[in-house]
Amino acid sequence: MTEWHSTVTPPALARLLDTAARLPQPTGRRPTYRRLADQVRTLVSEGRLPVGARLPAERELAAALALSRTTVATAYEALRADGYLRSRRGAGSWTTLPEGAPPPGDALHPVPPDEQGHTLDLGVAALPAPQPYLGEAAARAVEQLPAYAAGHGCYPTGVPVLREAVARRFTQRGLPTTPDQILITTGAMGALHLLHRALVGPGDRVAVEGPSYPHTLQALRRSGARLVPVPHAWPGGPELMPSWDLPEWQRVLRGAAPKLAYVMPDFHNPTGALIEEEQRRELLAAARASGTIVLADETTAELGWGLERAAGAPTPAAPAAFPRPMAALDRGAQVVTVGSASKLLWGGLRIGWVRATPALVRRLATDRVYSDVGTPVLDQLIAAVLIGERLEEVRTHQLERLRASAGALSAALREQLPGWRFAEPPGGLCLWLATDGLSGTALAQAGERGRVRIAAGTRFGADGAFENFIRIPLTVPAPAAHAAVERLAAVAEQAATGDRWPTADGGSPLVA
Amino acid sequence: MTEWHSTVTPPALARLLDTAARLPQPTGRRPTYRRLADQVRTLVSEGRLPVGARLPAERELAAALALSRTTVATAYEALRADGYLRSRRGAGSWTTLPEGAPPPGDALHPVPPDEQGHTLDLGVAALPAPQPYLGEAAARAVEQLPAYAAGHGCYPTGVPVLREAVARRFTQRGLPTTPDQILITTGAMGALHLLHRALVGPGDRVAVEGPSYPHTLQALRRSGARLVPVPHAWPGGPELMPSWDLPEWQRVLRGAAPKLAYVMPDFHNPTGALIEEEQRRELLAAARASGTIVLADETTAELGWGLERAAGAPTPAAPAAFPRPMAALDRGAQVVTVGSASKLLWGGLRIGWVRATPALVRRLATDRVYSDVGTPVLDQLIAAVLIGERLEEVRTHQLERLRASAGALSAALREQLPGWRFAEPPGGLCLWLATDGLSGTALAQAGERGRVRIAAGTRFGADGAFENFIRIPLTVPAPAAHAAVERLAAVAEQAATGDRWPTADGGSPLVA
């Protein structure tokens, strides 16, 4: 079996290792080869070095790092022993995953069901399904199935009843939309995947928020894009919500003229920030001037669970006061919007959508013949019932759950980790925590030993930024919040003092 | 809106046009510009020129084709008027689709539901769902849903119950398989998409059967692979089933050492050929020697509806006599297998799978985080019920339908198109018809006027081969077969005499 492997050049790996090397050094002194092996392992398990990437030859990497060849050879040997590297004479060495290892970007992946009893998952920001609504909608969809079962079941643009329901919902939110502007996709990632292929060529610049959603950053990197991060502005410090740094956006758009700008204006992941309408307008004006397409990711747009805290704050029931969707402010087909049912309804449905011009919708429907062909019919029927008929009840149900979780987690954090700082966001799925100088990566590694999965802040940065942050999801049920933060605090204690990696012979409890 | 456009160089377009120009010329004399525009339009609607491809500048194309610049400019103008080209000063011209046009490779795409009353679809080889089995399984799956709805719903490798059912089915078919060798994907195309990314790099050679499945050929082209077609051997002429041309396969594997060989050994699409076990062994031996991965597409492997015609022929109930799956003959992890529920169960479920080493399964599960993340849960539960508990009933039901369709279509073809030649295959979804010298592309074009969608043979060739073939699917219900062939014969009559395109002012009834 000879898979294809992209090659990491010695300078590229040296740069990645340089970011990894900024981690605080553990107390115990470990040999250089072990530290090198551990850093490579971190890069793989964070998803910054792809699985299947061919590493430089030992001699070349030794030269690039100014280490002895023996050190590099011993580090590669240690990685092979840990199951993170495979080598074959003549073919080189490439990264791999040990059996039973969580996939890279592990903390952003759900814990496998057979681990769930043992592990506290603070990585995945995904809710259980709203019941009984999902079950009821599924039963309704099964009743509608016979009419569809008589046909081939293939709908490249989506089942009409769902395209209509999604278009109506956009219209309700202040953005008049017709069904031919909607493409139903296999989750929001399915939408982003198609759009990256259609809109971004190798070498094209893409401006992204800093921080941003890690899977999108990684997907853009893989498609050959050059990321240009534009950090959020945090004028009030981590206790206050950030916003866009508009002068910086204007500078980047004017100077780099990126092909695409990827933004999450509504309850941004990971910070929860809600961008006000005036900033949206100004960013659009700058994008229009530079010919940049704005890709507005509205995956979390319906999750405004904290809006009522501000007295007299606008609600989605009074959408005129709420900042309008980016596309509603658009005057030149400059905005493409992505949405998802995964957060409000259920990730197990894998329903997402694109809102774009009918011409782009047709092109994307063509392109998907070479990936997923279409999205399953039954899930589309379920989503059509929930979005078309039960949306307010489902929203109330899910937002109440998020609100309770946010309240309980915030209280527990203030009590048990008083040095950590965070804002209480107006919505979204996460809290973004400044860890009082602790390395988020070290926290994630200590969590691996303590069976607490933690999403390190660096995952959300385009360039290894946000080392002293972690993200925790509002999916911890409120009654479990205190105990969860207790475990997080214990991990923090350990991260501040302990070695970062289990010894090679000790093995990791998560890689059993 | 400035999408990204891949660029077609003048020589590349000249080569494509050269293939298109081999079509028989229509009787009516048409100006050169119109013929050029029509040929480009054919390339787009056959999917051989991607939607969104940037065409050469008029001056460059004129030079490459030895035409006047005015001729090329007028052809581009005609394409713009027809809605197949868009231009912008400074950005060039790129292919597009007129509103309401069927997607490219149209005859392989289902007719939109609102067209179905008017159009005879001989393009799509997809069956309606087996009822009442699908509905019953869906109801069962909804009962199982609450246990899954309490979780996040994200299963990158697949829901365990379906991985187990698929592994058991492989084992029943003579190929012992464990669930960790199975990755559940969003249809077989989802599986192929992931595998192309993991196994094939830009510029890598991929050996493919000639003819082969068009969407795979196109997907491989798009991933930058260089296709090396290996024509089937047809020693008995089109009335007898083809097989692999093993000396040719051995020559290609030895000479080109392709990275991958893509084959459909079981009821091949489009010919229905079933490859005997000895040929499978020999191809594997040659692939082992050249270090080539064999990608065995078993999408149609369960569709052996014609096996009982040969007296005492083996059946899947006696799998020892039936040629074993390629992977069962494999001795070096050289074979990766793709399967699908779309043909036997229903395309609307979008369930496919990969059978590979556990290590490759883990890598693919990682890669899909950047495309579809996972396959919807409910459809996996439905497939698990049907594959795990009802497979024999469902197979009997679907194979009976195919057998009846094949019988009725064959009889009608012999009666109404006696010059056409074809074999009666032992299984699969199609008949592969030699059209007595008529151009398949001309037939497809005449069909467009007559509302009969036809898949031209050239779509199944890597290099414009199979001009005098078409494929028709066994999805025409037996009672409708006579009338369907009557319409096909009328189209053939027209194709033999008429102009290939509707006049620019007349428009096309399918592009209304």
Residue B467 to chain A, least CA–CA distance (Å): 23
DSSP string computed for A81-98: HHTSEEEETTTEEEE---
**Which residue from B105, B371, B475 is facing A369, i.e. has the nearest CB?**
B105
Are the CB atoms for B272 and B423 separated by under 8 Å?
A: yes
CB contact under 8 A, A372 and B110: no
SS3 B119: coil
Is B10-95's fold the same as B163-393's? no
b/e code B205-221 from CB counts within 10 Å (16+ = b) = bbbbbbbbbbbbbbbbb
Q: Residue A370 and residue B172: Cα distance in Å, rounded?
A: 31
Per residue of chain A (512 residues), what is the pLDDT tens digit? Answer: 455 566 778 887 887 776 555 444 444 567 888 888 888 887 776 666 777 788 999 999 999 888 999 999 999 999 999 888 999 888 889 888 776 655 544 444 555 544 556 788 898 888 899 999 999 999 999 999 999 999 889 899 999 999 999 999 999 999 999 999 999 999 999 999 999 999 998 899 999 999 999 999 989 988 889 999 998 998 887 788 999 999 999 999 999 999 999 999 999 999 999 999 999 999 999 999 999 999 999 999 999 999 876 434 444 444 446 899 999 999 888 999 999 999 999 999 999 999 999 999 999 998 898 889 999 999 999 999 999 999 999 999 999 999 999 999 999 999 999 999 999 999 999 999 999 989 898 898 889 888 899 999 988 987 767 888 999 999 899 999 999 999 999 999 999 886 443 333 333 322 22
Does any CB of chain B come closer than 8 Å to the CB of residue A131?
Answer: yes
Gap from B371 CA to chain A (nearest CA, Å) = 5
Minimal CA–CA distance to A174: which of A355, A36, A32, A3?
A355
Name the one residue in this structure whose structure tokens are 């109506």.
Answer: A168
* 8-state DSSP, B339: E
Contact criterion met (CB < 8 Å) for B346 and A110: no
Would you call A135 an interface residue with chain B, using a CB distance cutoff of 8 Å? yes
Strands B92-95 and B85-88: antiparallel
Say yes or no: A6 contacts chain B, CB-CB below 8 A. Answer: yes
With a cut of 60, say whether residue B113 has pLDDT above it.
no
Residue A227 dihedral angles phi and psi, to the nearest 5°: -80, 135
Q: Is the CA virtual torsion B22, B28, B32, B35 positive or negative?
A: negative
- In B150-213, where does DSSP find H-type helix? 160-172, 187-199
B145 chain-A contacts, CB cut-off 8 A:
134-135, 138
Short-list B338, B254, B262, CA closest to B301:
B338
- Residues A455 and A444 sit within 8 Å (Cβ to Cβ): yes
What's A10-95's CATH class? mainly alpha
Collapsed DSSP state (helix, strand, coil) of residue A293: strand
Task: Answer whether A215 touches B (CB < 8 Å).
Answer: yes
Please state, in angstroms and rounded to a whole number, the distance separating the CA atoms of residues B476 and B59. Answer: 48
Could you give the angle at the alpha carbon of A464 between the alpha carbons of A458 and A467, nearest 5°? Answer: 50
The phi, psi pair for B450, rounded to 5°, reads: -95, 10
pLDDT value at residue B503? 34
Any idea where the domains of chain B sit in the sequence? 10-95, 120-130+395-506, 163-393
* Cβ-defined contact of A362 to B101 (cutoff 8 Å): yes
ipTM of the complex: 0.83
Contact indicator for B337, B354 with CB cutoff of 8 Å: yes
Q: Report chain B residues whose CB lies below 8 A from the CB of A453.
A: none
Cβ of A115 under 8 Å from any chain B Cβ? Answer: no
Can you list the positions of beta strands (E) in B187-287?
205-210, 226-231, 260-263
SS3 content of chain A, % helix, strand, coil (to 5): 45, 15, 40
Exposed, middle or buried: residue B404 (CB in 10 Å: 0-12, 13-18, 19+)? Answer: middle
**CA of A121: which chain B residue's CA is closest?**
B152
Q: Do B97 and A362 touch (CB under 8 A)?
A: yes
ω before A211 within 30° of 0 (cis)?
Answer: yes
Q: What is the CATH superfamily name and number for domain A120-130+395-506?
A: Aspartate Aminotransferase, domain 1 (3.90.1150.10)
Mark yes or no for CB contact A154/B109 under 8 Å.
yes
Q: Where are the alpha helices (DSSP H) in A153-241?
A: 160-172, 187-199, 214-222
Query: Which positions in chain A touch B131 (Cβ < 8 Å)?
Result: 146, 149-150
* Helical spans, DSSP H, in B121-209: 133-149, 160-172, 187-199
* Closest partner CB to A152 (pick from B126, B201, B382): B126
Host H or E run for residue A335 = strand A335-340
How many other CB atoms are found less than 10 A from the CB of residue A150?
11
Strand order in the sheet with B120-122: B120-122, B452-456, B469-473, B430-434
Measured CA to CA, the distance from residue A136 to residue B140 in angstroms comes to 14
How does strand A335-340 pair with strand B120-122?
unpaired
Query: A512 burial class (0-12, 13-18, 19+ CB within 10 angstroms)?
Result: exposed
**Residues contacting B352, CB < 8 A, separation 6+:** B184, B185, B186, B187, B188, B189, B190, B191, B299, B338, B339, B340, B341, B342
Which residues of chain A make contact with B129, given a CB cutoff of 8 A?
149-150, 153
**CATH architecture under which domain A163-393 falls:** 3-Layer(aba) Sandwich (3.40)
Give helix A187-199 / helix A358-367 axis angle, nearest 10°.
Answer: 100
How many whole angstroms from its chain centre is CA B344? Answer: 16
**Long-range contacts, B55-62 (Cβ 8 Å, 24+):** B55/B8, B55/B13, B55/B85, B55/B92, B55/B93, B55/B94, B55/B95, B56/B8, B56/B9, B56/B10, B56/B13, B57/B92, B60/B10, B61/B10, B61/B13, B61/B14
Residue B57 CB neighbours (<10 A): 15
Residue B1: CB atoms within 10 Å:
14
